[in-house]
Structure formats: structure tokens, C-alpha cells
Structure 1
Amino acid sequence: MRIDYLANGDRLAFYTPDFFIRTIDGHYYLVETKGREDRDVPLKAKAAIAWCEAASSEAVPWHYLYIPQGLFERMAGDTIAELARACAPALQNLLQSEEFQDLPLFVNLGQSDEEVATVDSLIDPAILNALPSRYRRAADQAIMLYRFFKQS
């Protein structure tokens, strides 16, 4: 089985879940274990959650179980339900991290609008305006980082 998702850069990608589990009480789990995380992990998790929602019925409920290695190594319980409860906060944190990926690097570091507007003073405005928005944001963040270290 494979789950399709849109990877960073809006390209079609897929991954294969690590395990499927069926419990005695009739719940099904799509399980993803993670030791090393890449930047597509939140996107994969969202796709897996959507798959579980689509595959679920009243008779066959599917759940996505995201298991970080460190949490698994500290796990003291011995049931899938306990593992799912212990891992739920890690999944929520992972999904929230995806929401904040496009925020500016330092969110202006408490600078006033006038200070932020002086980005143009370091780079020719014609060059900045010619950049695609993605690169413009990167330039803005680089300048904020430069100013941060200059003040330190």
C-alpha cells in the first residue's frame, strides 16, 4: 500500500506506512515509526490521517499512529491503546509545526515597521522586487538575521 501526498515544492510523492495493526476490539491502526524526521513528515502525517478518515466506517475504525523513536524507547505501557495515548501529543506537535513553517524566521524580532521597511537599504530595491516571492522572503529573513547578529 502507498499513500500519495504533495511534498514540499508541490510535487507528487508517496510513502508506504511501516505497519498495520488490528486490535482485538476491532480497531485498525496505520502505524508510522520515526527515528529521523525529514521536512515532509508533517505532510505525510496529514495524508495518512486523511486516508484513515476515508477508510474508516462504523464497523472498521482506522486510526493513524505516529510513533517517535524516543517516545517508544521510554514507553512503559504494553498495549496499543496506551501507546496511542502516549503518542498523541507528538502527533499534534508535528501537525502544528507544519502550520508554522512559512512564518518569518524571527518575526521581525520586535522591530518597528520603519526598521523592517529599511530592508531595501541593504539591497537595491530593483533587485529585491525582481525576485520571486519565495526568494524575497529568504532575502528578508537573511537581512533580519544579519541585523540580529550585528546587534549582538
Structure 2
Amino acid sequence: MKCPFCGAVETTVADTRINDDGDLVRRRRRCLKCDKRFTTYERAELRMPQVIKKNGSRVNFDAEKLAASLRLALRKRPVGTEAVEAAIARIEGKLLALGERELASEKVGEMVMLELKKLDKVAYVRFASVYRNFEDVDEFSKLIREVSRSPQKLGR
């Protein structure tokens, strides 16, 4: 690690501590040239896959866009913020676990629909109607019949 004071490359680690969550390492370092101390932080860098959109373009995965989509579908529904955040974390975890550099937007959409189906049936139908681009009432009816047969699990 390069010293921020004198630019020397030779430093030693004086102290290492891990935060309570275990996802951040704090190191106190000392420069062997100027003897000054400084702190560095170390965190795992996880790369989310790029998303291939329907038109073939590639975009970086955007967690905020994912959250906005879920919140829009769940607008005015009795689902708590913690349940929504947990659903987002599950989707991100699944995306990381796939280990893919790229994946189709349809795969992300299906993951969102699965999570919404667990959280709230109305939100699931809202999202599915836009995501699947329903053309007529019959498609709505079919989806509603499908949802009516499954038990409701609300994330309150």
C-alpha cells in the first residue's frame, strides 16, 4: 500500500479489525519511510452481471431500478419496507450466485415476479401485466385464475 503522505511503497500493518457485519476490514498502517500512520478499508468487490435487454443492448445491473420496479408494483399495498428490502437482497443474491457475466433481462423479470408473487398477489398481477405486455382481458383472466389458486403470503 502506497503511503498517502510521502508516496513510499513500503508500509506495514499495525492493526487489523473486522467490523461487526464481517464485510469490512479496517487496517492501521505505518509508513516505513516517514513513520506516519494511516487507515485503509478493505471490502469484497462483487460484480453484478450485465443485463441484456430485449433490443440486444447491454446495461449494467441497476439495483435502484430493481427497487423502483418493486416499489411501483407494491404501491399502496400492505407490504412492509423490510419485506421489500429482503426481496431485493434475495434477487441480488440469486444473480450473484448464477456467476454469469451477462444475463437476459427476462431472467431478472422472472425473479422479480417470483418475489412479488410471494409478497402480494395484486402487486404480482400489476407487474406481470406490464412485464408480459398483456394484449387482452383473457390474458389477465388466466393470470388471475392462476394467482387465485395459490396461497397468499404477505410480507408485512
Range of TM-score over shorter length: under 0.3
Q: Which has the larger radius of gyration?
A: 2
TM-score using structure 2 length: 0.25
Structure with more helix by fraction:
1
TM-score using structure 1 length: 0.25
